[in-house]
Amino acid sequence: MRSSDIEKKKRESEIIDMFFRRDPGALKSVSDDYGRLFRRIAFNITSSDTVADEVANDVLLALWNAIPPARPQNLSAYGSAVARNIALGRVRSERSRGRPEVVEELDESVPDGLPDDADGEALSCLIESFLKNCPGRTRAVFVMRYFEEEPLERISERTGMSAGAVKSLLHRTRLKLRAYLEREGYRI
């Protein structure tokens, strides 16, 4: 494990301990460390700066309410999943705007919503485990599309793959993720 990874884990552990102590400083720490990430995820789903800011604030409240009892292994991934789900909820409630393509793609591969208890952490760990077992390029493309919400064209530029190859790789990976989660007991 790289020293930066060790430092990140230590920092996240300290923040989670602050949540368990109900220290309001935990919210500032999360906002400082991950607020931009949460806003970017929300913006890529909603295409609205205002909604992205609201989602980032809603993530803080959701984390405050979930931790404890939840104790996420990876706070940034957990918070990102919460941001994604809150942003998706906003999009779903505004059906007249339509659903972004990335939402449609991933909806068929993962369970709806993030449970409020340790099951959300378990799902996050399963997805992380699935991605660790994927080849490097597959994992990178998947993360760019579904965690960073990058458009297909941008992924194609960043990887040097054709747009068709990116779409095919994502489709095959979503099918494998779905099968993996179903084997682990999740109904999709």
Shared-domain flag, residues 77 and 108: no
Is 172 among the domain residues? Answer: yes
Last residue of a domain, one of 97, 113, 143: 97
Task: Let me know how long the chain is.
Answer: 188
In angstroms and rounded to an integer, the radius of gyration of the C-alpha atoms of the chain is 17
**Claim to verify: residue 85 and residue 104 sit in the same structural domain:** no
Instruction: Determine the pLDDT at residue 119.
Output: 57
pLDDT at 187 over 90: no
Mean pLDDT of 61-78: 90
Higher pLDDT, 86 or 4: 86
Domain limit, last residue, from 62, 80, 97: 97
Quick check: helix, strand or coil at residue 63? helix
Asked whether residue 109 falls in the same domain as residue 178, the answer is: yes
Question: What Å distances lie between residue 94 and 44, 97, 100, CA to CA?
Answer: 16, 6, 12
Three-point CA angle 112, 115, 121, nearest 5° = 110
Q: Is residue 154 part of a domain?
A: yes
Based on the fold, state whether residues 116 and 187 are members of the same structural domain.
Answer: yes
Helix (H, G, I), strand (E, B) or coil at 186: coil
Give the global pTM.
Answer: 0.52
> Is residue 2 assigned to a domain?
no
Domain count, the chain: 2
- Structural domain ending residue among the three candidates 82, 97, 112: 97
Same domain flag for 82 and 107: no
Q: Which domain holds residue 15?
A: 7-97
The CA distance from 146 to 109, in Å, is 11
Q: What is the pLDDT of residues 10-43, one digit of tens each?
A: 899 999 999 999 999 999 999 999 999 999 999 8
Domain of 68: which CATH number? 1.10.1740
What per-residue confidence (pLDDT) applies to 106? 64
pLDDT tens digits, residue range 95-134?
A: 444 445 565 566 666 655 444 444 566 777 788 888 888 9
- Given a contact cutoff of 8 angstroms between Cβ atoms, the answer to whether 55 and 49 are in contact is no
Could you read off the pLDDT of 71-97 as tens digits, one per residue?
Answer: 888 899 899 999 998 988 887 776 444
> Do residues 77 and 148 both lie within one domain?
no
